[in-house]
């Protein structure tokens, strides 16, 4: 049986989530904008989901804007905010997900010099350098700042509230991509002191195709998609009712199951990393506070992509980097920003544990990894 150890890429839909979604594919298939009974039923379902998402992170339902995914939500904040603000600097960490980094790059590239891009340096553990954040805020007027709550590759958790205080002190709008963090650690919108936050359903055992941008009520954004004025005019298009319903239920489950899930997963990762260290592995970001489920490691001399393929054949799904970036193979920009030597970075493999994994699976994985590594060494495939 294949063991799935790639939960930072996506998760399987929970049974309770699927059960909640099923009626809205056929029996309750109305358009939420329709005025008849079927449409009203769909609208009520969307409203309930909005309440569930809001409750999970401590905001009001009116602050939740549904989108098709985390990438759209991140782009909506960066380009939508830029549409209202005076041109200034867009400040992002050097380890942001590509859907934030590239959105910021495009904003700067197409603004004819009116918007400037400033990347915040990180230390060798992948944590944002707060002194560099101070410098960035002083160098020129920041308009937008975006720092992810937890990194999708290393799992390293950022001090978002500290950066947010600096950004607010300079009058900038602060955003955090919390897609990887939510469901794995407590996430509270107010405590993070941000103006906007991104969440996604498929990282928390919900469906693909549903996400949200959480906004301060005072924020004004220019839409990316025009049409019928859905989502209070911020995201036109008929709502994906089944996915939104699933998103709402998944948020509720993420909140109620967090403590139990965390305890189990911490125990699994501890055993995993103990075994990896015994094999001589380097664990990236291990000295920083990380998501409890994430382990990004390298066995020096064994290329990550090769190891991923061999482990897949052995029955284990792991990753050599971010799934969203797999179309652009090459060194991880996260490890590069951390100052990891390129040859070691090419050996990187990510294991991200989930609720259905077990200690027995971790033990079996360690045995398989040891066997595969020994085989590659015997075949003289350790030189890269």
State the catalytic residues. Answer: 324
- Write out the two tokens for 111: 């603004």
Q: How far is CA 132 from the centre of its chain?
A: 23
CB atoms within 10 A of CB 102: 16
Of how many residues is the chain composed?
384
Runs of H (alpha helix) within the chain:
15-21, 37-57, 70-82, 98-109, 130-139, 160-169, 189-192, 241-278, 304-313, 333-337, 342-345, 359-378
- Write out the two tokens for 12: 């399987």
Task: With beta carbons less than 8 A apart as the criterion, state whether 80 and 234 touch.
Answer: yes
Runs of H (alpha helix) within 25-129:
37-57, 70-82, 98-109
Dihedral angle sign, alpha carbons of residues 332, 334, 335, 336: positive
What is the C-alpha separation between 325 and 335, in angstroms, rounded?
Answer: 14
Which residues, including other chains, have CB under 8 Å from residue 359's CB and lie 6 or more apart?
267, 268, 271
Strand partners, 142: 89
- Write out the two tokens for 262: 């965390």
Axis-axis angle for helices 98-109, 70-82 (nearest 10)? 30
CA-based nearest residue to 79, from 98, 102, 97:
102
Dihedral angle sign, alpha carbons of residues 321, 326, 332, 333: negative
- What's the DSSP call for residue 234? T
CA-based nearest residue to 78, from 95, 101, 94:
101
């Amino acid at each position: 049986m294949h063991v799935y150890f790639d939960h930072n890429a996506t998760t399987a839909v929970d049974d309770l989530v699927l059960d909640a979604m099923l009626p809205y594919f056929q029996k309750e298939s109305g358009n939420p904008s329709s005025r008849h009974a079927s449409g009203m039923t769909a609208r009520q379902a969307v409203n309930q989901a909005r309440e569930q998402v809001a409750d999970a992170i401590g905001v009001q339902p009116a602050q939740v804007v549904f989108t098709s995914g985390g990438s759209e939500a991140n782009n909506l904040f960066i380009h939508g905010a830029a549409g209202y603000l005076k041109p200034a600097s867009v400040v992002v960490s050097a380890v942001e997900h590509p859907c934030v980094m590239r959105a910021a790059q495009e904003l700067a590239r197409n603004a004819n010099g009116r918007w400037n891009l400033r990347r915040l340096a990180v230390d060798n553990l992948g944590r944002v350098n707060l002194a560099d954040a101070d410098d960035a805020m002083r160098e020129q007027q920041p308009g937008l700042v975006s720092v992810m709550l937890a990194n999708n590759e290393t799992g390293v958790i950022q001090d978002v509230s500290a950066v947010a205080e600096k950004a607010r002190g300079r009058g900038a709008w602060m955003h955090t991509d919390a897609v990887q963090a939510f469901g794995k650690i407590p996430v509270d919108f107010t405590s993070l002191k941000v103006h906007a936050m991104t969440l996604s359903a498929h990282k928390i055992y919900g469906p693909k195709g549903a996400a949200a941008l959480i906004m301060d009520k005072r924020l004004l954004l220019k839409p990316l998609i025009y049409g019928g004025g859905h989502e209070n005019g911020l995201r036109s298009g008929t709502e994906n009712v089944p996915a939104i319903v699933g998103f709402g239920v998944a948020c509720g489950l993420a909140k109620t199951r967090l403590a139990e899930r965390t305890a189990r997963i911490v125990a699994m990762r501890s055993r995993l990393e103990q075994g990896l260290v015994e094999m001589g592995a380097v664990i990236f970001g291990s000295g920083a506070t990380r998501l409890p489920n994430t382990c990004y490691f390298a066995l020096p001399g064994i290329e990550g992509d090769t190891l991923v393929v061999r482990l897949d054949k052995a029955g284990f799904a792991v990753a050599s980097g971010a799934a969203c970036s797999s179309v652009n193979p090459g060194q991880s920009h996260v490890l590069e920003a951390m100052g990891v030597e390129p040859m070691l970075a090419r050996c990187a493999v990510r294991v991200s544990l989930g609720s259905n994994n077990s200690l027995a699976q971790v033990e079996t994985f360690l045995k398989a990894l040891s066997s595969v590594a020994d085989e590659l060494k015997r075949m003289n495939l350790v030189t890269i």
